[in-house]
Amino acid sequence: MNCDEFVELVTDFLEGALSEEDEQRFVGHLAECAKCERYLDQFRQTIAATGELTPDGISSDARGLLLNAFRDWSRP
Amino acid sequence: MAGARELPPDDVLVSRLREGHEETFALVLDSWSGGMMRLAMSFVSTKASAEETVQDTWLAVIKGIGGFEGRSSLKTWVYRILVNTAKARGTKESRTVPLGSLLTEEEGPTVDPSRFRGAGEPYAGHWAVGQEPQPWHLPEEQVLRGEVRGVIAEAIDELPPRLRAVLVLRDVAGYGSAEVCSLLAVSAGNQRVLLHRARALLRGKLETYLTGAHEAVAGRELA
Ligand SMILES: [Zn+2]
């Protein structure tokens, strides 16, 4: 396997979606190529960092409106 | 804004919401609205419209919680309402997100081919000298509080809609692939293609920021 093929298979590899044969080729390249090992590691770090994101929420106006709506709705 | 606060299990959440427990409502509202905003942005054209989508979704949740049957998780149920609301709104804004087959710009390499040795060179297809990934330092504090957050958030906002939808659901909201395929009506294979492309674009932006910012290396950004 070449590096340019490796970089396209990273998500399939992480998802366990590679055929057995491709997975062996992927892992074989990983064992031999420190640059692609770094690429895979950076890919994983990117995914982890994305998972740490606490996205911007809604505005405080909208939040207040929804809290009021919840209060009104649940009041008998 | 809530951080990564632990939410009680679904059955507790649902019964408290049905009882009109305001704190619980505020908790889920604060925990999920951010991810919902980003997801809504995949379907509609403006931030204001995304916010209205999220509001409409929550109003539907408030009215519908009594009838929630628990066949999926509460969050999935909320996200389903969001996707339907956002799709309807997006169609009205004639910004349809065609799901199903891949678009041409979603095919092809995710790493600039010029970073690899060309055909005919020794070791063709391997990283070219000076174009290989450079070491990173990505300390966790920097991810949680620092500029890196901003870099990632901006990169997500710049993703094409379909890529953004898949990435937000998988990597921000933490859904599994089966759920995302069902929510967005894409095949498992296409979902992986979209996800891979989105992740590769984000890695590229981080690379530019983390290595380029210090070395002032130009022209390495992914197209
Ligand atoms: Zn390699």
A47 with B199: Cβ contact below 8 A: yes
Quote the pTM value.
Answer: 0.72
Question: B23: pLDDT confidence band, cut at 50, 70 and 90?
Answer: very high
User: B60: how many CB neighbours lie within 10 A of its CB?
Assistant: 15
Rg (CA), chain A: 22
- Indicate if the pLDDT at residue B34 is higher than 50: yes
Residues of chain A in contact with residue B172, where contact means CB-CB under 8 angstroms, are: 50-51, 53, 55
- Distance from the CA of B104 to the center of ligand 1, in angstroms? 26
- Indicate if the pLDDT at residue B46 is higher than 80: no
Cα–Cα distance between B86 and B208 in angstroms, integer? 33
| Model pLDDT, residue B1 | 37
The string of pLDDT tens digits covering residues A9-27 is: 999 999 989 999 999 999 9
Whole-angstrom CA distances from A48 to A34, B71, B170, B180 are 21, 29, 11, 18
Q: Is B113 on the interface with A (CB under 8 A)?
A: yes
| Model pLDDT, residue B100 | 56
The string of pLDDT tens digits covering residues B81-90 is: 998 898 888 7
State how far residue A22 is from chain B, nearest Cα, in angstroms.
16
- Interface pTM, i.e. ipTM: 0.81
Q: Which DSSP string corresponds to B51-74?
A: HHHHHHHHHHHHHHGGG---SS-H
The string of pLDDT tens digits covering residues B149-192 is: 889 989 998 888 889 889 988 998 778 898 889 888 889 999 99
- Indicate if the pLDDT at residue B49 is higher than 90: no
The two most distant CA atoms of chain A are separated, in Å, by: 68
Residues of chain B in contact with residue A65, where contact means CB-CB under 8 angstroms, are: 55
The string of pLDDT tens digits covering residues B113-128 is: 999 999 999 999 999 9
The string of pLDDT tens digits covering residues A37-71 is: 999 999 999 998 898 876 667 888 889 999 999 99
Which of A42, A66, A74 faces B133 most closely, judged by CB atoms? A42
Residues of chain A in contact with residue B55, where contact means CB-CB under 8 angstroms, are: 58, 62, 65-66
- Please check whether residue A7 is in contact with residue A39, taking contact to mean a CB–CB distance below 8 angstroms: yes
| Model pLDDT, residue B4 | 46
